[in-house]
């Protein structure tokens, strides 16, 4: 069984979007993890050994992502694959990763396909898209909304949201007025916006991320019926660049989040994150995605610590599943083989003036 030698660094590898349509998700995610590992390594690492994170850019492209992972697996020096981004990428990577028996830690997707039952080498932290969809639709039902339209990306992420929406609209006695899809290249955003507006919903649930969100919202806001329409979106939509690109069209939008607000210093975890972020010299604004990367790195390091001085992958896997009620300071994780993810944290934020997220 693979063990890192007991003096050198513990090497882990990440494939994520540092370029392409979802750079504004991939880059802060990587920076957040890097900020934590830098602060950890400055204090002597884990059991006296630094954690070394190698990143490969996949541009949010399935072919490049699978090539990156093949190269990681072929290298043989990596202890784990860490925090890869995107439902379609993760779906393509999983078969070879599971076959290799290497820990696949904290992929950024809320999709159920990344949560295969009975597989002990895949570890999900973030609340699932179903958890987020449930929170948003419960909120709508609570405030007395009855008629909801659903628009989702025509990929595995969007379909996951649509499946959850169907379940929870039924559960909360909401009526789906229309369902529309948007391609990754946004080519049919205008048609989707027309279909949604014409169905006269009281609110719209968006299973969209990146550029399709911008194209759809702009198209909807240009229509008379869509001007003041309340919009509700999932965490992966709320990247700073997406909000900036939407401008005033995003103001008042509700976005579910799977980590606390990165400016909320009443949360101890957020204070620790901000300190590490500043020390790392990161030039980006601290964001939910950067905080998520930081959380994933911190949980990974804690499991490594519990796996012992010269950890094998088998020891890491056992230590991970044994991690219960681990509190990072206002954010708790518990790995449980019967549960799809270690965190169920979801809170709702609103897009305020200037595209800033507020609680």
- Return the HEC string of the chain: CCECCCCCCEEEEEEECCCCCCHHHHHHHHHHHHHHHHHHHHCCCECCECEEEEEEECCCCHHHHHHHHHHHHHHCCCCEEECCECHHHHHHHHHHHHHHCCCEECCECCCHHHCCCCCCCEECCCCCHHHHHHHHHHHHHHCCCCEEEEEEECCHHHHHHHHHHHHHHHHCCCEEEEEEEECCCCCCHHHHHHHHHHCCCCEEEEECCCHHHHHHHHHHHCCHHHCCCCEEECHHHCCHHHHHHHHHHHCCCEEEECCCCCCCCCCHHHHHHHHHHHHCCCCCCCCHHHHHHHHHHHHHHHHHHHCCCCCEHHHHHHHHHCCCCEECCCCEECCCCCCCCCCCCCEEEEECHHHCEEC
Q: What is the per-residue pLDDT across 91-139, written as a single tens digit (0 to 9) for each? A: 999 999 999 999 999 999 999 999 999 999 999 999 999 999 999 999 9
Q: Which of 209 and 7 is assigned the larger pLDDT?
A: 209
Question: How sure is the predictor about 7, in pLDDT bands with cuts at 50, 70 and 90?
Answer: confident
Residue 4: pLDDT above 60?
Answer: no
pLDDT on residue 6:
64
pLDDT of residue 2: 57
In this predicted structure, the answer to whether residue 258 has a pLDDT above a threshold of 80 is: yes
Lowest mean pLDDT segment, chosen from 4-8, 153-157, 256-260, 279-283: 4-8
pTM, 2 dp? 0.92
pLDDT-based confidence at residue 260 (cuts at 50, 70, 90): very high
Q: Is the pLDDT of residue 257 over 60?
A: yes
Binning pLDDT at 50, 70 and 90, where does residue 1 land?
very low
Digit-coded pLDDT (tens) for 36-84: 999 999 999 999 999 999 999 999 999 999 999 999 999 999 999 999 9
């Amino acid at each position: 069984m693979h063990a890192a030698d007991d003096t050198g660094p513990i090497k882990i590898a990440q494939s994520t979007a540092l370029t392409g349509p979802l750079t504004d998700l991939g880059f802060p995610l990587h920076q957040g993890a890097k900020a934590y590992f830098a602060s950890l390594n400055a204090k002597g690492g884990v059991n006296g050994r630094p954690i070394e994170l190698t990143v490969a850019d996949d541009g949010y492209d399935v072919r490049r992502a699978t090539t990156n992972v093949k190269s990681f697996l072929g290298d043989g020096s990596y202890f784990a694959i860490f925090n890869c981004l995107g439902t379609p990428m993760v779906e393509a990577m999983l078969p070879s990763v599971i076959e290799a028996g290497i820990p696949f830690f904290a992929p950024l997707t809320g999709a159920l396909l990344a949560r295969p039952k009975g597989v002990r080498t895949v570890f999900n932290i973030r609340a699932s898209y179903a958890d987020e969809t449930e929170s948003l639709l419960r909120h709508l039902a609570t405030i007395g909304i009855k008629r909801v339209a659903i628009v989702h990306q025509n990929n595995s992420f969007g379909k996951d949201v649509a499946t959850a929406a169907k379940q929870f609209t039924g559960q909360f006695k909401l009526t789906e007025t229309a369902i529309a899809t948007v391609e990754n290249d946004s080519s049919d955003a205008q048609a989707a916006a027309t279909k949604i507006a014409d169905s006269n919903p009281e609110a719209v649930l968006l299973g969209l991320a990146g550029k399709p969100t911008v194209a759809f919202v702009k198209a909807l806001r240009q229509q008379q019926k869509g001007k003041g329409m309340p919009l509700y979106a999932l965490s992966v939509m709320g990247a700073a660049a997406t909000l900036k690109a939407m401008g005033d069209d995003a103001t008042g939008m509700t976005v579910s989040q799977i980590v606390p607000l990165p400016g909320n210093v009443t949360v101890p975890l957020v204070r620790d994150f901000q300190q590490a972020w500043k020390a790392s010299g990161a030039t980006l604004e601290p964001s939910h995605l950067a905080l998520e990367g930081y959380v994933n790195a911190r949980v990974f390091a804690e499991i490594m610590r519990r796996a012992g001085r010269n950890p094998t992958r088998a020891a890491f896997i056992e230590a991970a599943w044994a991690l219960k009620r681990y509190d990072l300071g206002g954010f708790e994780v518990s790995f449980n083989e019967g549960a799809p993810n270690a965190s169920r944290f979801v809170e709702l934020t609103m897009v305020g003036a200037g595209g800033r997220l507020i609680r």
